[in-house]
Chain A
Amino acid sequence: MDAKSGDTKDVGGRARGVVLDGVRALALVFVTLPGAAVLFVLSVVSIALIPLGVGIVTTPWVLTGVRAFADLRRMLAAQWCGVRIPPAYRPIPKGANPWARCFRMLGDPATWRDLGWLLVDMTAGFVTVVLPVALLLYPFEGFALAAGLWRVFTDGTDVGWWYAFVPISGQGSALLAAGLGAAFLVTGYFTVPLLLRVHFLLTRTVLSGDQGELAERVRVLTETRRDAVDTSAAELRRIERDLHDGAQARLVAMGMDLGTIEALIEKNPAKAKELLTQARKSSADALTELRDLVRGIHPPVLAERGLGDAVRALALRMPVATEVDVDLPGRPGAPVESAAYFAVSEVLTNAVKYADADRIWVDVQYLRASEGTLRISVTDNGKGGATIGAGSGLSGVERRLGTFDGVLAVSSPAGGPTMVTMEIPCELS
């Protein structure tokens, strides 16, 4: 927004821009203070009414209004000044009841940022839009005074009116006022676009939250994304190798056997029959290998029945008595289901391999509070001492869950028992 001097065309263009920004500021004058004040009062009253019950119904409405108000300003900031303010509201599940909606919205830090912003908007925000309007309109009063308006206020003997800090007492001081007005106008010419920008930057600073928090989030996302990409690449390599060395090779062998059988069937039926048996065995082995591979990619029970029954089926395959308790009112998304399943599978394998446990309990439940969290705990009565160390199965589980913002906690004192708890924020369908 640097002022370019010189070319008259440029000055004309800039003047038009300044006038446009002045009109925009004027529009904002009527929006900021009244809008922010009304919404702030409504929000405070509504939240105060929550203990009475009424607030539970009204608060989501009012807060939705606040968000719409903030969104309008985000849009204007982007369109008028190119200042982008990304909205960061947590999603509200469809069909949630007023109670859940209310507390979900109140639990969102963005809501409190919005309310704080309303206070800033009706004070500092208001000043930053009033100032440009004043800089553009006030000069005209000075010009009018010089043009003769001063006569209305004074007969030339006393001070009848003040223009800013200039006492108007006659034509001379009125001309001085006009001069000051011109100075204001020149100042406005250079600063109005800047002030409007300051207004939106202020909005952004208050609305867009803590940059440090965002930076941390970006760091975590970068890390988990790299892990996820690495894991899936390694997984694909393993599948490729398994197919290449296993099923594929067996099918080739089977094809060769069939070719030989074709040649032998009349000359040496006994040998042909022997080869047939071999070919059949090759096909059965290929199927077994493919089946194991499929189980490692996406277990069929998981696809057919969902997480609860898949974990039950897994428990039935364990050589150790495993009790499963599932309380899931719906199904998480397929990627979460799959991650949770393999996490449980890994933890169970660990319990059997290292803990010497003879009993395992798996508890799968969904916590509706705040975000909605899938919590799975695996407890065994083994000898304990499990850690999330480098290279242990558990750190693999932690990485796998990290992709979904999931966390893993291990409590495993020497002598046992070991309890591994996993939590993945997710929604159920």
Chain B
Amino acid sequence: MRVVLAEDLFLLRDGLVRLLEAYDFEIAAAVESGPELTRAFAELAPDVAVVDVRLPPSHTDEGLQCALRARRERPGLPVLVLSQHVEQLYARELLADGTGGVGYLLKDRVFDAEQFIDAVRRVAAGGTAMDPQVIQQLLSRRQADDRPLGRLTPRELEVLELMAQGRSNAAIAERLVVTERAIAKHTSNIFAKLDLEVSDDDNRRVLAVLAYLDQGR
């Protein structure tokens, strides 16, 4: 799988290259600025891109803007955005086109190599990887004024949280140490209680949950 990596700090870039290579990714390019990233998107057609939000030369959200631009040109182009801080505002912008293949994680998540690589693979496959912090913020906001959410059992809330992060039923089952069937039951309960349309497509399911959590604000 060919990866384009954009990160301006040498130490982090180097670490990410080594990490990704250790898990058999092919690094198509490891760049350090916005213009270079735009060129890499255009010329290299990567399978997935791992992009730092803040890049030179402007040191603003240049990486995010590059990624959003590239996705407008090629909808569904898988991009995993990394940042020192997560903002719902940015998450919403990344999810706005509803095409999936999007990730938005804190840089700290790289500490857990397995989880991080899993997120990269998921995004590359058209799935979603949202940082737990984003999901927690969404949940706590919605819980304050949302009745349907109040009807979920604590376990169902837990499943909802993991689902919103973009994890598959199998991954959720493994995480909560229960069977996949039990999780499937939980999810269908959740969808019924929140009045959401049930879908077999994992990815569409995640996007529906995220849209539900983000609505009304």
User: Which residues of chain A have a CB within 8 Å of any CB of chain B?
Assistant: 280, 283-284, 287-288, 291, 294-295, 300-301, 303-305, 309, 312-313, 316-322, 358
Judging by beta carbons under 8 Å apart, are A305 and B60 in contact?
A: yes
B189 at the A/B interface (Cβ < 8 Å)? no
Q: Considering the complex, which residues of chain B in the window 19-62 have a beta carbon less than 8 Å from any beta carbon of chain A?
A: 53-54, 59-61
A280-B111, A284-B111, A304-B60 known; A312+B89 contact, CB < 8 A: yes
Judging by beta carbons under 8 Å apart, are B54 and A316 in contact?
A: no
Looking at the assembled complex, report how far the CB atom of B211 sits from the nearest CB atom of chain A, in whole angstroms: 15
Judging by beta carbons under 8 Å apart, are A316 and B85 in contact?
A: no
Judging by beta carbons under 8 Å apart, are B145 and A317 in contact?
A: no
Residues of B within 8 A of A322 (CB): 217
Residues of A within 8 A of B141 (CB): 316, 318-319
B88 at the A/B interface (Cβ < 8 Å)? yes
Tally chain B residues at the interface, Cβ within 8 Å: 21
Pick the contact of A313: B87, B111, B144, B216 (CB < 8 A): B87
A-B contact pairs, 21 of them (CB 8 A): A284-B108, A301-B85, A301-B87, A303-B60, A304-B53, A304-B54, A305-B60, A309-B89, A312-B89, A313-B89, A316-B88, A316-B89, A316-B137, A317-B88, A317-B137, A319-B140, A319-B141, A319-B144, A321-B216, A321-B217, A358-B145
Looking at the assembled complex, report how far the CB atom of A388 sits from the nearest CB atom of chain B, in whole angstroms: 28
Kindly state the separation between the CA atoms of A288 and B137 in the bound complex, as whole angstroms: 15
Pick the contact of A291: B53, B54, B84 (CB < 8 A): B84
User: Which residues of chain B have a CB within 8 Å of any CB of chain A?
Assistant: 53-54, 59-61, 83-85, 87-89, 107-108, 111, 137, 140-141, 144-145, 216-217
Kindly state the separation between the CA atoms of A291 and B131 in the bound complex, as whole angstroms: 15
Residues of A within 8 A of B107 (CB): 287
Kindly state the separation between the CA atoms of A358 and B107 in the bound complex, as whole angstroms: 34
Judging by beta carbons under 8 Å apart, are B111 and A283 in contact?
A: yes
Closest to A309 in B: B89
Residues of B within 8 A of A304 (CB): 53-54, 60-61
Residues of A within 8 A of B88 (CB): 313, 316-317
Kindly state the separation between the CA atoms of A316 and B214 in the bound complex, as whole angstroms: 10
Closest to A315 in B: B217
Closest to B216 in A: A321
Residues of B within 8 A of A321 (CB): 145, 216-217
B83, B107, B137, B141: most-surrounded residue (chain A CB, <10 A): B141
Which 6 A/B pairs are nearest by Cβ-Cβ distance?
Answer: A304-B61, A316-B88, A313-B89, A304-B60, A313-B87, A300-B85
Residues of A within 8 A of B87 (CB): 300-301, 313, 316
Looking at the assembled complex, report how far the CB atom of A283 sits from the nearest CB atom of chain B, in whole angstroms: 7
Kindly state the separation between the CA atoms of A45 and B61 in the bound complex, as whole angstroms: 53
Looking at the assembled complex, report how far the CB atom of A29 sits from the nearest CB atom of chain B, in whole angstroms: 60
Looking at the assembled complex, report how far the CB atom of A188 sits from the nearest CB atom of chain B, in whole angstroms: 69
Can you add 16 more A-B contacts, CB < 8 Å, to A303-B60, A305-B61? Answer: A280-B111, A284-B111, A287-B107, A291-B85, A295-B85, A300-B85, A301-B89, A304-B54, A305-B60, A316-B87, A316-B137, A316-B141, A317-B137, A318-B141, A321-B216, A322-B217
Kindly state the separation between the CA atoms of A205 and B14 in the bound complex, as whole angstroms: 69
Looking at the assembled complex, report how far the CB atom of A23 sits from the nearest CB atom of chain B, in whole angstroms: 60
Looking at the assembled complex, report how far the CB atom of B185 sits from the nearest CB atom of chain A, in whole angstroms: 31
Judging by beta carbons under 8 Å apart, are B84 and A300 in contact?
A: yes
Looking at the assembled complex, report how far the CB atom of A94 sits from the nearest CB atom of chain B, in whole angstroms: 23
Kindly state the separation between the CA atoms of A280 and B84 in the bound complex, as whole angstroms: 17
Closest to A299 in B: B85
Looking at the assembled complex, report how far the CB atom of A315 sits from the nearest CB atom of chain B, in whole angstroms: 8
Looking at the assembled complex, report how far the CB atom of A176 sits from the nearest CB atom of chain B, in whole angstroms: 86
Closest to A284 in B: B108
Kindly state the separation between the CA atoms of A309 and B140 in the bound complex, as whole angstroms: 21
